[in-house]
Amino acid sequence: MVFSTPIFLFGFLPVFLAAYYLVPRAGRNWLILLASTLFYAWWRTDALIVLYVVAGSSYAAAKLATQTRDATVKTWAVRAGVAVNLAILGWFKYTTFILGNLNTALGGDALTVPEIILPIGLSFLTFQSISYILDVARGDAPPARKLSDFLAFSSLFPQLIAGPVLRYKDLAHQFETREHSVALFCRGARRFIEGLAMKLLIADSVAPLADRIFALSDPTVAEAWLGALAYSIQLLFDFAGYSAMAIGLGLMIGFHFPENFDAPYTSRSITEFWRRWHISLSRWLRDYLYVPLGGNRGGRLRTYRNLVLTMVLGGIWHGANWTFVVWGLWHGGLMALERALGAKHRDTVWPRLLAWPVTMICVVLGWVVFRAASLGEAMTMYAGMFGAHGLPLRAETVLLTAPTEVICLALGMVLSMAPRPALHPVAWAARLQPAALSMLCLIAVQARTVSPFLYFQF
């Protein structure tokens, strides 16, 4: 079930909210667990087995690690819990990729490559479960008091599919007591509508433009950069829109989720970009990969190695494709370069007037390989961006580009790249904004087919 579909907006969500505020407080976590189970089963009922095996095994491993007095048992409980998570993620996400590459290396089809359907949200679920096991074992977080609360946390439908990546220690107290008020509910509803508008009005409007250009076999300079910019805007408004909707849904039932985006396209370095883009994932990678690898404690070369390795593993987390490996190398290499130039002690290492354009060009170049279905497709786009197929837009591209695509692309660029104070609305406009966005979203929902969120595939 997708947040932007009529069945969710006019069926699931209002029924759930009505039931939530009708049942006694003591039953609300159970209702969340039931609703989340139905929400997830809407996609595939058999995937529920995977979800609850991951959650149940993580709960059991953390419980054993906290109850035993034997240090060896504790260590192996943690290792087993993490290994089960990684094994499940590896089987569903990387088996086909690994066997396919082995077949290619062996020059034939000696190995049978199974068709495996990746359960939606599995990457987010395993990261959350691993952080729970490690936090509890380290004493950084209390163990869940009830299995039902932990299952409700693991399957929490507002964020289950595409984050933010939550940590149980940040929400543990909210499963025991949560604030509910009309003001908080309205704040959540406004945030949800803003996210819905980001998805429906901007991301989905520019998506056809990006899709058409990435499908060209010989894009010109103008076409390739237009397609790369369109995808950059589509991805930001699609993913940040989902995060805003998740945060809004959480507020409507009393949860406070962490922010996941902070104007990333205003960054003046790649290092700053990763403090603003997918913040919950960046913090997870820092705390559970970069720091355990040694962080910056082993000298400059080890620091650069750890930065690159962390970003490559973060790239692989996004998908089983060499394109994500290259994307991780690109960002890890740039972060290592900026660290070598002194990024740890300065806001940016680039000249003041060049910092923002240099950063944005690097980000957009990275999104090309991130978006491409293969390295060959990415090279086609890069060849176009650097002039291999001519300069101007061709007549057929101009003819196929709808005015709404251009308008929404321009609007998305202004909203994502302009300084925040310049976009602060006046009071009367702020009051009208939710109603106006709701009307526009209603029209878009009725006029378009369902478009899944891009991060569903991760």
Among residues 180, 256, 278, 318, which one is catalytic? 318
Can you tell me the distance from the alpha carbon of 270 to that of 223, in angstroms, rounded to the nearest whole number? Answer: 25
Dump the DSSP string for 114-129. Answer: ---PPPTTHHHHHHHH
Sequence letter at residue 220: T
353: exposed, middle or buried (C-beta count within 10 Å: 0-12, 13-18, 19+)? exposed
Asked if 308 and 336 count as a contact pair (C-beta separation under 8 A), the reply is yes
Can you tell me the distance from the alpha carbon of 405 to that of 229, in angstroms, rounded to the nearest whole number? Answer: 12
Can you tell me the distance from the alpha carbon of 93 to that of 125, in angstroms, rounded to the nearest whole number? Answer: 13
Can you tell me the distance from the alpha carbon of 277 to that of 283, in angstroms, rounded to the nearest whole number? Answer: 11
Can you tell me the distance from the alpha carbon of 303 to that of 311, in angstroms, rounded to the nearest whole number? Answer: 12
Compute the half-sphere exposure of residue 84: CA atoms within 13 Å on the CB side of its CA. Answer: 21
- Here the tokens at position 432 are 């009208």
Can you tell me the distance from the alpha carbon of 322 to that of 375, in angstroms, rounded to the nearest whole number? Answer: 7
Can you tell me the distance from the alpha carbon of 384 to that of 221, in angstroms, rounded to the nearest whole number? Answer: 5
Per the omega criterion (within 30 degrees of 0), is the bond before 164 cis?
yes
- Here the tokens at position 108 are 């034939």
Distance set, CA 423 to CA 389, 417, 418 (Å): 38, 10, 7
Sequence letter at residue 392: P
331 is catalytic: no
SS3 253: coil
- Here the tokens at position 196 are 């819905």
Asked if 165 and 280 count as a contact pair (C-beta separation under 8 A), the reply is yes
Tell the residue number behind the tokens 């680039």, with chain if given. Answer: 350
Torsion (CA) 32, 37, 39, 45 in degrees, nearest 10: 180
Asked if 299 and 360 count as a contact pair (C-beta separation under 8 A), the reply is no
SS3 103: helix
Q: Rg of the chain's alpha carbons, rounded to an integer?
A: 23
Catalytically annotated residues: 318
